[in-house]
Amino acid sequence: MISVLKKVVGGLAALLLLPAACLAEAAPDGQDNGWVFPSIGAGKGTWSASVGAFLSKDESALRNLQLRADVDLAPGLRYHTVVRTDRGMELEKLDPHFDENYLEGYGFKPTGDGTLSVSLRVGTMRYLHFPYPDAIAVFDQVPGISDLEDGAKTGYSGELLTVDYAHKSGFGAHASGIHWDFSRDGGSDILESYIFYRQDFGRIHFEAHA
């Protein structure tokens, strides 16, 4: 447990201290070259619960109860969790299971030409979306859900670093990599690596990845 905490603290500190060093550079007049760490206030966030209902002529049941929380801890630092009451779909017993559970340190550096976005998540993730679900990623399917029923482990567990740069021309680059951890072996892997172009043409939004 101590080693895990050291990794969490060390990883988040690295992310938060790097932008701090960049802030020491003087910004040109009229241009803000500093990093932005969003926050709505420590301890503030959203909490929600959802449950599915199965109805038929022969039976009815409530299924898949989920509890979700997104909480700001400090500027550029937030906690996200999704808890299922049981690994199965039926609400027959209470056996809480973390579907997602991670700390995230993140920040943005706007410039005159574009925006650099950086995120470091430590924990268990099922989605890669950062800085937001783009027009293509919004249709992504999860890697799998077999782990919800004691099957093969899916999703992402470890330290996940994502870097995204969006230029004002519409072009940009995106990359993410993970160091597998928390009972997941495999060393380190590049998960995403692509360039993109996105632009609005009136009411039409165009986006392409390569």
**Using one digit for the tens of pLDDT, what is the confidence trace for 188-197?**
999 999 999 9
Long-range pairs, 148-152, Cβ under 8 A, ≥24: 148/84, 148/87, 148/88, 148/97, 148/99, 149/87, 149/88, 150/87
- What is the identity of the amino acid at 1? M
Looking at residue 146, what is its pLDDT?
Answer: 61
Between 15 and 149, where is the model more confident?
A: 149
Tell me: pLDDT of 41 over 70. yes
Looking at residue 2, what is its pLDDT?
Answer: 41
What is the phi-psi region of residue 155: left when phi exceeds 0, alpha when psi lies from -120 to 50, beta otherwise? Answer: left
Q: Which tokens sit at 127?
A: 């989605």
Q: Parse the chain into domains and list their residue ranges.
A: 2-209
Beta-bridge partner residues of 52: 63
Looking at residue 68, what is its pLDDT?
Answer: 94
Residue-wise pLDDT for 62-111, tens only, equals 777 889 999 999 999 999 999 987 766 666 677 778 889 999 999 999 98
Residue-wise pLDDT for 114-173, tens only, equals 999 999 999 999 888 898 877 777 666 666 666 666 666 778 999 999 999 999 999 999
Total-model pTM: 0.75
